[in-house]
């Protein structure tokens, strides 16, 4: 089979069957891209996971782009990435055409009043899991606490400050602390 | 121009979404609220729909918001915009910048970004929970508060009972049943 078509179809299948996103997908990737097609090695998949953690965007997209590029350059990267996005794109397109009418039904609207509560709990839980995995050192903890307080104030007072602003402040802060430490260490070495 | 706004808005989301699926939700919330594309209510519904359908949540939300604002072209533009940054960045990392992520300065930036994202996601979750439980004048909405306590108890308690606990989709289905039980069929 044409490799581009193969990339597209393989990633479309992954895109269609991965619920819960993120790490659920790694297992699926391992089966299809490592054991099945042998497009990448297990170590490479672990590398991609690390790269995905340090770059923006869903890990599914990062993986698809990586594997596609490795097999067939830019065209391969496009085929794999379009493949992984297309199923959810089509599904949401269909759902969104019906959702508004669907929400006018009384019991559906009531169900969604319950669902809204579950979503709050899921977001809280995602944050709790990230806190468990983060390094428990003073600086990260202080940055997290500061960002939490700032974001709460932004939410409560509906301030027009984007969370991107907070992220940029945190990045600059961390970078300048690192730079200062490095300078300090350099000066001590020079003496 | 709506197409341009959608493109830039979701490009920003794609570019700054560190920290996995839920890391992008505060960013999407910023963008859709500031443009008036969705209200908090509709956003929470779409997060639940995204969680219950395949694919990354931020792609689902981009498609939905794009379509609701500007039909099929809007959906295509928003989805392409949200995917584009991670696509380009992975290509750059693979070709030109193999070592950039190991650079100590890049590491320092990431060390600042990651805890900041965690704080932002935590604040978004806490704020959503508190707002669900409260009414306008700061009084408590008793049924919603009771449902929150019950669902949180089941969600975190189920992990003690079996490995992995209740799945997100399981929690969403359960909460839908609670909603109907609480507010009635009609």
Token code pair at residue A126: 């995602």
How does pLDDT run across A87-119, given as a tens digit for each residue?
Answer: 999 999 998 888 888 888 888 888 888 888 888
- What is the separation, in whole angstroms, between the first and last Cα of chain B? 41
Nearest residue, CB atoms, A144 vs list B26, B104, B119? B119
Task: Tell me the pTM.
Answer: 0.84
Please compute the mean of the pLDDT values over residues A152-174 and round it to a whole number. 88
- Taking the CA of residue B79 and the nearest CA in chain A, the distance in Å comes to 8
- What is the separation, in whole angstroms, between the first and last Cα of chain A? 66
How does pLDDT run across B144-164, given as a tens digit for each residue?
Answer: 888 899 999 999 998 888 887
Query: If you write DSSP's letter for every residue of B39-72 in order, what string do you get?
Result: -HHHHHHHHHHHHHSSS-HHHHHHHHHHHHHHHH
Q: Report chain B residues whose CB lies below 8 A from the CB of A157.
A: none
Q: Is B8 on the interface with A (CB under 8 A)?
A: no
SS3 B17: coil
What distance in Å separates the CA atoms of residue B11 and residue B84, rounded to the nearest whole number?
7
With cut-offs at 50, 70 and 90, classify the pLDDT of residue A22: low
Residue A176: predicted pLDDT? 93
Query: Inter-chain contact B86–A91, Cβ cutoff 8 Å?
Result: no
Residue A130 has pLDDT above 90, yes or no: no
Query: Inter-chain contact B59–A85, Cβ cutoff 8 Å?
Result: yes
ipTM of predicted assembly, 2 dp: 0.85
Mean pLDDT of chain B: 87
What distance in Å separates the CA atoms of residue B52 and residue B105, rounded to the nearest whole number?
39
Token code pair at residue A50: 């690390």
Residue B5 has pLDDT above 60, yes or no: yes
Please compute the mean of the pLDDT values over residues A11-18 and round it to a whole number. 86
Q: How far is CA B49 from CA A35, B4, B83, B92, B182, in A?
A: 32, 26, 19, 33, 21
Q: How far is CA A177 from CA A41, B108, B120, in A?
A: 38, 9, 21
Residue A19: predicted pLDDT? 67
Residue B3: predicted pLDDT? 94
Residue B176 neighbours by CB under 8 Å, 6+ apart: A111, A112, A114, A115
With cut-offs at 50, 70 and 90, classify the pLDDT of residue A20: low
Nearest residue, CB atoms, B119 vs list A106, A151, A182? A151
Provide the sign of the torsion angle of the four alpha carbons A125, A130, A135, A141, taken in this order. Answer: negative
Cβ-Cβ contacts under 8 Å between A and B: the total is 349
B129: phi > 0 → left, psi -120 to 50 → alpha, else beta; which? alpha
Burial class (CB in 10 A: 0-12, 13-18, 19+), A26: middle
Residue A159: predicted pLDDT? 83
Q: What is the CA radius of gyration of chain B?
A: 19
Q: What are phi and psi of B140, to 5 degrees?
A: -90, 135
Please compute the mean of the pLDDT values over residues B84-113 and round it to a whole number. 85
Residue A73: predicted pLDDT? 92
Tally of CB atoms within 10 A around B101: 15
Tally of CB atoms within 10 A around B130: 15
How does pLDDT run across B27-52, given as a tens digit for each residue?
Answer: 999 899 999 998 888 888 888 888 88
With cut-offs at 50, 70 and 90, classify the pLDDT of residue A67: very high
What distance in Å separates the CA atoms of residue A62 and residue A43, rounded to the nearest whole number?
16
């Amino acid at each position: 089979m044409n490799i581009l078509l193969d990339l597209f179809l393989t990633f479309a299948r992954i895109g269609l069957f991965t619920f819960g996103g993120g790490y659920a997908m790694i297992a699926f990737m391992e089966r299809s891209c490592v054991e099945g097609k042998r497009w990448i090695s297990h170590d490479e998949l672990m590398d991609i996971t690390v790269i995905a953690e340090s770059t923006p965007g869903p890990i599914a997209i990062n993986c698809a782009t990586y594997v596609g590029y490795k097999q067939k350059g830019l065209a391969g990267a496009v085929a794999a990435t379009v493949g992984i996005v297309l199923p959810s794109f089509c599904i949401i397109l269909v759902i969104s055409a019906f959702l508004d009418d669907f929400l006018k039904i009384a019991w559906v609207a009531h169900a969604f009043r319950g669902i809204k509560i579950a979503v709050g709990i899921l977001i809280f839980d995602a944050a709790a899991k990230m806190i468990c995995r983060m390094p428990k050192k003073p600086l990260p903890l202080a940055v997290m606490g500061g960002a939490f307080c700032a974001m709460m104030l932004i939410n409560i007072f509906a301030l027009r400050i984007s969370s991107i602003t907070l992220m940029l402040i945190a990045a600059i802060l961390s970078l300048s602390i690192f730079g200062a430490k490095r300078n300090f260490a350099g000066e001590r070495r020079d003496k | 121009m709506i197409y341009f706004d959608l493109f830039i808005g979701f490009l920003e989301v794609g570019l700054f979404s560190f920290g996995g699926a839920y890391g992008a939700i505060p960013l999407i919330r910023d963008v859709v609220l500031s443009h008036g594309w969705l209200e908090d209510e509709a956003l929470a519904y779409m997060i639940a729909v995204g969680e219950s359908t395949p694919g990354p949540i931020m792609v689902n939300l981009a498609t939905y918001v794009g379509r609701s604002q500007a039909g099929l072209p809007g959906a295509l533009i928003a989805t392409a915009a949200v995917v584009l940054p991670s696509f380009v960045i992975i290509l750059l990392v693979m070709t030109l910048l193999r070592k950039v992520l190991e650079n100590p300065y890049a590491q320092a930036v990431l060390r600042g970004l990651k805890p900041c994202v965690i704080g932002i996601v935590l604040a978004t979750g806490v704020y959503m929970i508190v707002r669900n439980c409260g009414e306008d004048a700061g009084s408590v909405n008793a049924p919603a508060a009771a449902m929150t306590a019950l669902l949180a108890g089941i969600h975190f308690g189920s992990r003690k009972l079996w490995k992995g606990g209740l799945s997100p989709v399981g929690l969403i289905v359960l909460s839908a049943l609670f909603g109907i039980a609480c507010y009635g069929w009609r």
